[in-house]
């Protein structure tokens, strides 16, 4: 009998497929996104060295509000950090989530901040 997979297992499976195709370098890092029911996290990663270059979460923000507004602020803050490091382009890794809602708002925040993704 076929075993049913949980939503988490399905997301991890999708993420593995994405990660097989997407890698980040020092000049063009991978922006990884994780969204839980409560919190939102984004980080820029150099996969060649396995180092996190910059990270932002909703814990870091002083602003509170709707989750979609907070996610856009996270994108803007990450864009500011990357600009200070001299990075202009990134590879976006949606982490197995749909490119919709909060994940999409993070990408839009990065674009508004001047980062090409």
Partnered with residue 89 across adjacent β-strands are 116
> DSSP 3-state assignment of 46?
strand
Tell me what pLDDT residue 63 has: 80
Tell me what pLDDT residue 13 has: 95
In order along its 117 residues, the chain shows pLDDT tens digits of 678 889 999 999 999 999 999 999 999 999 999 999 999 999 999 999 999 999 999 998 888 889 999 999 999 999 999 999 999 999 999 999 999 999 999 999 999 999 998
φ, ψ of residue 116 in degrees (nearest 5): -90, 120
CB 35 within 8 A of CB 8: no
Could you tell me the residue ranges of all domains in the chain?
Answer: 7-112
| pTM of the predicted protein model | 0.91
Please name the fold of domain 7-112: Nucleotidyltransferase; domain 5 (3.30.420)
* DSSP E strands, the chain: 30-35, 40-46, 51-57, 91-93
Tell me what pLDDT residue 60 has: 86
């Amino acid at each position: 009998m076929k075993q049913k997979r949980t939503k988490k297992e399905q997301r991890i499976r999708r993420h593995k497929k994405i990660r097989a195709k997407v890698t980040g370098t020092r000049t063009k890092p991978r922006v990884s996104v994780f969204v839980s029911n409560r919190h939102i996290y984004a980080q820029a990663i150099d996969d060649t060295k396995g180092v996190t270059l910059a990270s932002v979460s909703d814990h870091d923000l002083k602003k509170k509000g709707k989750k979609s507004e907070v996610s856009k602020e996270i994108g803007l803050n990450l864009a500011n950090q990357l600009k200070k490091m001299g990075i202009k382009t990134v590879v976006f890794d949606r982490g197995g989530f749909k490119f919709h809602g909060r994940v999409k708002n993070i990408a839009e925040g990065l674009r508004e901040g001047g980062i090409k993704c």
